[in-house]
Amino acid sequence: MSKPSLPQGTRDFGPDIVRKRAYIIDSIKKVFELYGFEPLETPAMENLDTLMGKYGEEGDKLIFKILNNGLSDPKNIDKAKAAFENVLAGKNDKNLTERALKYDLTIPFARYVAMNHGQLTFPFKRYQVQPVWRADRPQKGRYREFYQCDADVVGSTSLINEVELAGIYDKVFAQLNIPVEIKLNNRKILAALAECCGGSEKMTDITVAIDKLDKIGIEKVQEELRQRGLNEQQVDIITQYLKIEGTNTEKLDRIKTIFGASTTGAKGIEELEYILGYPSSLSGKNELVVDLTLARGLNYYTGAIFEVKAKHVTIGSIGGGGRYDDLTGLFGVPGIPGVGISFGVDRIYDVLEELKLFPEQVQSGTKVLFFNLGDAESKKAFELMQQLRAKSVSCELYHEQAKFDKQFKYADRKHIAYAAMIGSRELENGTCNVRNLATGEQKVLFFSELVDHPF
């Protein structure tokens, strides 16, 4: 027997971690529900053609493919061998693999909407929290299996959706006590910038480069722009654009003078102003900040784009999203626009850990541990425990008679708040010693009082 191990880039989540993650995910789900979003789950695997070609050339390589069953069946062997040649040549072949693990939540959602658009009520607002898989090489903060947590509204071009999504970000992070900056920009403004710099075909090059700004700095961005074929004058325009500073209104005024003439640019500015000018749904704890340098790597965004950064920590973005024009066109159902956001659960976890913001009670499951101090004693304890459970107090009885030391240690390790001790003397008196394990404070309660004790 070889040592058991995990596949590269995957993780087990122990009890403590599951509890903490559930705290994050439950908070997010509750807010989604509060805003009228409905849950959706899709299978772990999709047909390979549903996924292929949707994530670019790089993305295709990172899709986890599933080998077909029954390849060794004599009647399939020749086909399988021929298929393998195809695969070696870098192509896919259905005779070898026709299914794959899902790569993100957006494409399966698009597939679902395309399949069910006749039945759905639009605008359709869905949220989805599920694992996805990537055949990437893992590194810090990057895994081969990880959770995505998405909410999208499809079938509506109304900017009220953007306002609502910003509100969701604000509400979630206010609840989790993480101060954040919700950054907002608009792809149409970036499109206008591209127009000024030699045409819209440069749009992707420009966004990919300036998306890296906060990571690599202005000089490297300029270098990358040159590498991507922009001339000095164009790099100069972009540099000036990236240096625009001030309040939201100041920034908007500034770009109005630059891009006001461009219809696309004017539209983008108008959209930004609409979102910012809408009666605020924000808690007041977080700010909505126009960040003209925000670009987002994904090039299917066409309107508003979002990104959320936690204040006071160096960790990168903990959420992002934006508007796209045509979600389901790839699946033969054109004309369904949408806007969505995503939460980075793993990074939010790291932020909460770093800022020590996980509430104490997240840690514990069992509230009361009944000590086992003998046969007759434990039977009485068992009865009392059942009464407490009937009142929804989670509790357990130590599994065997043991020294106090052991039972205390067990309680400690499971972060149990109270120990209920019934020994021979207590059994005789009809009492129970209830000890608060954090404070050491101990009370004597009659059996009848225990059930109503506020744990």
Nearer to RNA, 83 or 411 (CB): 411
Nearer Cβ to RNA, position 138 or 179? 138
By beta-carbon proximity to RNA, the closer residue of 5 and 121 is: 5
Cα–Cα distances (Å) from 288 to 180, 245, 271, 296, in that order, read 9, 15, 14, 17
- Min dist CB 99 to RNA, Å, is 20
Q: Give the CB-side neighbour count of residue 108, counting CA atoms within 13 A.
A: 25
Query: Interface residues with RNA (CB under 7 A)?
Result: 5-9, 56, 58-59, 104, 134, 136-144, 146, 148, 208, 215, 297-298, 317, 320, 342, 344, 346-347, 373, 403-405, 408-409, 411-412, 421, 423-426, 433, 435, 437-438, 440, 442
Q: Shortest approach of RNA to residue 109 CB, angstroms?
A: 14
Q: Which two tokens stand for residue 135?
A: 């055949």
Residue 12 CB, nearest approach to RNA (Å): 12
In our burial notation (b when 16+ CB lie closer than 10 A, e otherwise), range 209-239 reads bbbebeeeeeeebbebbeeeebeeebbebbe
Q: How far is CA 328 from the centre of its chain?
A: 23
Q: How far apart are CA 111 and CA 132, in angstroms?
A: 16
Contact present, 41 and 102 (Cβ < 8 Å): no
Structure tokens at 279: 């009666």
Which of 106, 264 has the CB closer to RNA?
106
The minimum distance between CB 108 and RNA, in angstroms, equals 14
Residues 6 or more apart in contact with residue 340 via CB below 8 angstroms: 106, 150, 151, 152, 153, 165, 321, 322, 324
Q: How far is the CB of 212 from RNA (least distance, A)?
A: 7
Nearer to RNA, 252 or 351 (CB): 351
Smallest distance from RNA to CB 2, Å: 9
- Residue 361, amino acid: Q
- By beta-carbon proximity to RNA, the closer residue of 245 and 400 is 400
